[in-house]
Structure formats: structure tokens, C-alpha cells
């Protein structure tokens, strides 16, 4: 059975412990990273996070999609999608 995902509170506590500081400072650092990544990716840029991966935005063309409830074909306009490429170091640490 899979473990439950870590909550933001647990992440902040773990960051504070790893940084050797208090939870308020760790929470502010996490919020700052989130803000920077959000601004950069929404503007079309990419953000590498060393040891974790790269967060970027990809354009998707207009296409036909199917409504699963009715089976009807619907035209979906072009949009953008956030993608994450995982770093090789993280993949290797999980698989070893």
C-alpha cells in the first residue's frame, strides 16, 4: 500500500529541520520558491531545480477530444500545459 503524500505542513517542518531554522523561515522560503517558479513558468520560461528537475510550460495545439460521458467529439482550442522533467540524479536515487 502506498504512503500518503507529504502535506505542506510536514514539508515545512522537514525543511526547517534540514535548514536548522524555525518553521516560519522555512515556510517563507517555500512560498518564495513557489512564487518564483509560478511567475517564470507562467511567463513561458523554464526553472531548473537542481537535483529535482526542470519545470517548464509547453504549448499544445488545438485538437478534437471526446466527451467520455456521451462519446461526442468536441473541438478543444490550443492551450498550455505545465511539465516537469525529472533530474537523472533523482531517478537514480529512487531506482537504487
Short-list 30, 6, 3, CA closest to 16: 30
Query: Domain containing 94: what range?
Result: 45-64+73-96
Classify residue 2: in a domain, yes or no: no
The 10s digit of each residue's pLDDT in 38-95 is 999 999 999 999 999 999 999 999 999 999 999 999 999 999 999 999 999 999 998 8
- The string of DSSP codes covering 21-61 is S-HHHHHHHHHHHHHHHHHHHHTT-EEEETTTEEEEEEEE-
> What is the DSSP secondary structure assignment for residue 65, as one 8-state letter?
E
The model's pTM: 0.77
Classify residue 32: in a domain, yes or no: yes
* CB-facing half-sphere around the CA of 12: CA atoms within 13 A: 15
The 10s digit of each residue's pLDDT in 25-51 is 999 999 999 999 999 999 999 999 999
Our count of domains for the chain comes to 2
Amino acid at each position: 500500500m502506498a504512503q500518503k503524500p507529504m502535506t505542506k505542513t510536514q514539508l515545512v517542518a522537514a525543511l526547517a529541520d534540514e535548514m536548522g531554522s524555525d518553521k516560519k523561515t522555512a515556510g517563507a522560503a517555500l512560498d518564495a520558491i513557489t512564487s518564483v517558479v509560478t511567475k517564470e513558468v507562467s511567463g513561458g520560461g523554464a526553472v531548473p531545480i537542481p537535483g529535482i528537475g526542470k519545470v517548464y510550460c509547453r504549448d499544445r495545439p488545438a485538437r478534437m477530444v471526446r466527451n467520455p460521458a456521451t462519446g461526442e467529439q468536441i473541438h478543444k482550442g490550443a492551450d498550455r500545459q505545465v511539465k516537469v522533467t525529472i533530474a537523472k540524479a533523482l531517478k537514480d536515487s529512487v531506482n537504487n
